[in-house]
Amino acid sequence: MRSVRIGNKMVGDGHPVYIVAEIGINHNGDVSLAKKMIAAAWESGADAVKIQTFITKEFLHPSHPDYRYDIEAEIPHEKEEEIWGFARGKGINLFSTPEEFLSLDFIEKQNPALIKIAAMDFNYKDLIQKAASLKKPILLSSGMSTMEEVKETLRWVEETGNLEYIVLHCTSCYPAPAESCNLLAIKTMKEKLNCPIGYSDHTEGMHIPFAAFVLGANIIEKHFTVDKSLPGPDQRCSMDPTDLKNFIKAVRETEKAFGSGHKEPATCEFNPRLYKRRGMYASAEIKSGAVLNDGDVLFYAPSAENSKVTDWSSIKGKRVKRNIPKMGLITTDDIV
């Protein structure tokens, strides 16, 4: 699998999972709240924070059920400039999803480290290719898509010469019921596609995105808010700062627990290998020169480097060269 570099971090197998906190439109059009959310997500440990940049009338028909909410949650480009400036001033890795071409042009001017295409535009070749032509790492949310559509979209990206793409498995329901998530598709996509595969989560809670991480997702994107009681369709499926900190802590500890894959004792098991395993002890006093037989030995813990239960077959029937008291340790050094 090809890995992708985002800033100073690599994304792909063998690298730590990349955590994206998705603010989206949880700010409800409030610039101050947006900045508060972005700062809180970054301080909670996210690798990147994402927003959405859009002009509602340029991508939604007035009859669309979300039109009114999006109008109210829309932050004009000139005001969004303040958000990007805030993030740059804090050293926050902020990026965005453009919903139409004017917003893509605006995002390009902000020079983010990466860019994302939403699931609704996964089949919109012109927007995808214009975004890919920026030659930045591009996240492609594959919600509502078939594997054939995924492969076609990746061909469009590759036609621009951009090979720095990552596909996000996703269920475009808000919130998404557990039975809709099909997390095993992550494994299938990793087998079929030569790129990192992530998971964009819309479920309530932390257990399903954590399962996606365990199944091998290279990126986890999760909606983020500072208050789940705020109005908006995504608040319920969002993490708050405490959730995100706990999630990231669990992910990082689990990454350490994955280990090398080689079956061998852990460093912390070196001492237990001796005191928890059995050594050889005399069942009664053994005189120097005696031949060791089955009745002469008891197998008790602890063992020693030169007295293990596995040593018995190599010293059975041999003579000892010293007196060994009852319950004394019998070692391989005691053999003539």
- Model pLDDT for residues 206-243, shown as the tens digit of each residue: 999 999 999 999 999 999 999 999 999 899 999 999 99
The mean per-residue pLDDT over the stretch 160-173 comes to 97
* pLDDT over 90 at 80, yes or no: yes
Reported confidence tier of residue 42, pLDDT bands at 50, 70, 90: very high
Residue 230 is predicted with a pLDDT of 95
The mean per-residue pLDDT over the stretch 176-197 comes to 97
Contact 291, 318 (CB under 8 A): yes
Domains, the chain, with CATH or none: 4-258 (3.20.20.70), 267-334 (3.90.1210.10)
The mean per-residue pLDDT over the stretch 30-38 comes to 98
Vertex 181: Cα angle to 175 and 183 (nearest 5): 145
Q: What is the mean pLDDT of the chain?
A: 97
**Lookup: tokens for 68:** 């009114």
The mean per-residue pLDDT over the stretch 158-183 comes to 97
Residue 76 is predicted with a pLDDT of 98
User: Pick from 192, 156, 157, 185: which is nearest to 171 by CA?
Assistant: 185
Q: What DSSP designation does 5 have?
A: E
pTM given for the model: 0.91
Q: What DSSP designation does 324 have?
A: B
Residue 316 is predicted with a pLDDT of 98
Residue 1 is predicted with a pLDDT of 85
